[in-house]
Structure 1
Amino acid sequence: MSIEKIVEQALQDGYLTPAMEAEVGRICDTASELSIEEYMALDRLMGALLTGEVVAVPRKQFINVMEELVLTEAIARSAEIEATSDQVLDVGDIAAYALNRLPPLYATTEEGARYQRQRAKEELQELITQQVSEAIARNLDRPEFFPEREPIGKSSGNEVLNQINNWLQIYAPDYEPKPSHNISE
């Protein structure tokens, strides 16, 4: 889907979904140059987000309890390794590797989350520990190919605006003329 179609859909629905936001980001990140139409669409989207005509939908209204269990395990194990060696581990990479090999445990309520945590501790703790261990082993054995990688961040309404503003500044630095500071005498 193009930026223009995404913006048109967001304006029509009044919402910018996380999937739409991600697609705009992917297009901006992979395009060598954006067209004037794409810049104008991003500008329209930014204006609509600022005025409230379009609302950025929160990323989550549910949680994956497995994420917190894996992160807890990954942080504890990484801290042990980092305290006893000169190794620096990427907890995000370790958690992502392990999570890709574990079942999700989604919950929409606190009661559901407590149930999922208890279930995981009783039935899946050994598997969680095993997958985190494997992820750490792979992380320690991996060369650093792309040190300039940028981690994925959470987006709120303001962060979406900032991200679109950054895209416009990067991909269209001269789209809006900068005010001149000529002082007449």
Structure 2
Amino acid sequence: MSIAQIVEQALQDGYLTPVMEAEVGRICDNASELSIEEYMALDKLMGALLTGEVVAIPRKQFINVMEELVLTEAIARIAEIEATSESSLDVGDIVAYALNRLPPLYATTEEGASFQRETAQAQMKELISQQVNEAIGRYLDRPDFFPERQALSKSTGNEVERQLTALLKTYAPKFEQNDNDP
């Protein structure tokens, strides 16, 4: 999507979503110089944001309380294990495994989050502990078959190009693009 298309969509909807905002940022970061049309579209968007014609939606209007509970449990268990052994565990892998096996507990207010937290601690403490323990067990028993795997990180814009290049090098090592090719 171009900046002009994003701005038109935002004006039509009355909202600038985080995805739209990120796309505008990506385009601006990757362009060495913006065109006059792109500057005009950005100016139009700024005016609409300032007048309230377009409202920017905050990045996160809700939280998953289960993430907080699982992370707290996982960190406590991992600290115990790492203190008594030579093992080094990846918190992200363990938390993701456990969260994929537990129900989400979303809240949009502090009161809702407190309610979800209290309810989960009263009714799901054992289940959370069980899933974190299972995640740790799976993590410790996993084979080391993908040592080159990369953790998720913020996209810098060139990620897709780098991944595609690496993929092509792996699966088409003898292919060379010729400048004379169509």
Q: TM-score, normalised by structure 2?
A: 0.59
**Please, which moves more after superposition, 113-122 or 140-149?**
140-149
Q: Sequence identity of aligned pairs in percent?
A: 60
Structure 2 match to 1:104: 104
Q: Give 1:58 deviation, angstroms.
A: 2.5
- Show the counterpart of 1:149: 151
Kindly provide the CA deviation profile for residues 29-53 of structure 1, in whole angstroms up to 9, marking residues without a partner as x. xxxxx9x9xx98xx77x956x9576
Tell me the residue number matched to 2:82.
Answer: 82
Distance 1:57 1:135 in 2: 35
Q: Is the 8 A contact 2:62 2:107 kept in 1?
A: yes
Note if contact 2:94-2:135 (Cα within 8 Å) is conserved in structure 1: yes
Task: List structure 1 runs of 4+ shifted beyond 6 angstroms.
Answer: 168-171
Q: Distance in 1 between matches of 2:42 and 2:77?
A: 45
Q: CA deviation at 1:10?
A: 4.0
Structure 1 partner of 2:157: 167
Give, in angstroms, the shift of residue 89 of structure 1: 1.4
Q: What letter is aligned with 1:167?
A: G
What's the TM-score, normalizing by structure 1?
Answer: 0.58
What is the aligned residue count?
145
Compute the displacement of 1:121 (Å): 1.1
- Written as runs of structure 1 = structure 2, the 5 A alignment for 1:18-167 is 18-20=18-20, 47=42, 51=46, 57-140=57-140, 141-143=142-144, 144-151=146-153, 166-167=156-157
Distance 2:76 2:95 in 1: 12
Shift of 1:71: 0.5
- In the aligned structure 1, how far is the partner of 2:21 from the partner of 2:92? 21
Q: d(CA) in 2 for partners of 1:168 and 1:53?
A: 31
Give the distance between the partners of 2:159 and 2:149, measured in 1 at CA. 23
Contact 2:7 2:42 in 1 (8 A): no
Counterpart CA distance in 2 for 1:14 and 1:57 is 10
Q: Which has the larger radius of gyration?
A: 2
